[in-house]
Amino acid sequence: MTDEPITNKPVNVVTIGGGSGQFALLSGLKNLKGIHISAVVSMVDSGGSTGRLRDELGTLPPGDILKCILALSPHRETARAIFQKRFKKDRRLKGHNSGNMLLTMLSRYTGSFPAGVQALAEILDVDGEILPVTIDRATLVAELTDGSRICGESAIDTPRGHQRETIRDVYLVPHHSDTINVFPPVLKAISNADAIILGPGDLFTSIIPNLIVPGLQEELAKVTAPICYVVNIMTKFGETNHFQDSDFIATLETFIKRKIDIAIINDRRPDDRLVTLYHQQKSDFVNTGYPEPDCRLIREDLLETSGDIIRHDTDKLAGVIERLISETITSLR
C-alpha cells in the first residue's frame, strides 16, 4: 500500500456487513489514504453480552457496531484491550464487555442509538462514519428447506447437533411495529458511494440481514458505483455447507436483485493441518465453482492464519481494494 492519496478527491467507500469480517476489512481500509469510509452494520446480533443488553434493556445490539468503531480508531489496539475487557466480579455486569456497556449507556443518555455511536466514535477519534442499517428492533428468522424456522441470529449462527437442513430464506420480524425501515443516512451514503463492498462475513447472519432491510435493496439497484464482494475463505456449518465461490456469489445476487460487479477471492489454500482442524467443525475451504460467475474475478493470496484462525489478511485485502479504486473506480468518475 502507498502513503499517497489514491485520488485528489476523496473516494467514498461504503462497506456493508457485520461481525469479525467487517472488523478485518475496516482495519485494513482505514490505512488507505484519500478515502472516506461509511460502514453499514447489521443490527440483528442476539448472542452473548449484546443479546443480554438487547433483551434486558430493549436497546439495539451494540456488539458489531463496537467492532467497527474499534477497527476505525487510530487507538485500535489500546481501545480493544480496554473496551473488549469483560467484567468478572459484579453479578449483573459479569460477562459484559466495557465497550458494549459504554455504548449502551451513551445511547440511553443521548436518547438515540446513532447519537451514542457518534459519541463513542468521537471518544476514539474515528475517521469515517459508522451507520446501523436500521434503528428499528427486529429478529432474524431463517426458513430451512424442510419448512422449519429458526429465530434469532445466534441460534442460526450456532446449529445444534450434527446435521441441519439448508437455509432457504431469511427475513426480519419487527418487535414493536409493522415495518422495518432503513436508517436514512445509509441511503445517502450509498447514493454518494464510489465503491460498495459487501463482506467478508457469515452470509446469512452478517451480510444478508443488511440487504433485507426494506429500502436498501432498492437503493443498491439504482447506484452506478461498482459493487464488490469479498468471498469467504471457509464455509460455515448450517449456513453455507459445501458452498463454492460461485455459490456465495449467486446467493448474494438473489438478495440484491442485481449482479455483483467484482468478486475478491482468496486462492491460497491453508495448510492441511488447519484444514483438518476446521473440517472437524464441519467447515471447508471454499474452492472454485463452475460455471464461473459473470463478474470480474480477482483471485489472490489473501490468507492469514496466525493463532490457528483462518481469516483475511487485512493488509493484503486493503491492497487489492486500493488497486481496484485506482484502476477501475476512479475511471468511472
Q: What is the CA radius of gyration of the chain?
A: 19
Query: In sequence order, what are the beta bridge partners of 13?
Result: 37, 195
Cα atoms found within 13 Å of the Cα of residue 323, Cβ hemisphere only: 10
321 backbone dihedrals φ, ψ, rounded to 5°:
-65, -40
Alpha-carbon span 109 to 106, nearest angstrom: 5
pLDDT at 40: 98
Tell me if 55 sits within 8 A of 139, measured CB to CB: no
Alpha-carbon span 301 to 87, nearest angstrom: 39
The average pLDDT across 255-275 equals 97
Question: For 16-69, how does the pLDDT look when each residue is reduced to its tens digit (9 = 90+)?
Answer: 999 899 999 999 999 999 999 999 999 998 777 776 777 778 788 899 999 999
Question: For 86-102, how does the pLDDT look when each residue is reduced to its tens digit (9 = 90+)?
Answer: 888 888 888 889 999 99
Whether pTM > 0.85 for this model: the answer is yes
**Closest to 72 in 3D by CA, of 116, 130, 14, 132:** 130
CA angle 86, 274, 269 (to 5 degrees): 120
Residue 291, preceding bond cis, omega within 30 degrees?
yes
CA angle 110, 112, 113 (to 5 degrees): 110
pLDDT at 2 over 70: no
pLDDT at 45: 86
| pLDDT confidence band for 331 (50 / 70 / 90) | low
pLDDT at 61: 86
Structural domain boundaries in the chain? 11-136+183-332
Count of H-run helices and E-run strands, the chain: 13, 12
In angstroms, the Cα distances linking 214 to 55, 184, 210 are: 24, 11, 9
- Cell matching residue 272: 492441511
pLDDT at 91: 83
- Cell matching residue 235: 464455509
pLDDT at 94: 85
Topology of domain 11-136+183-332 in CATH is Rossmann fold (3.40.50)
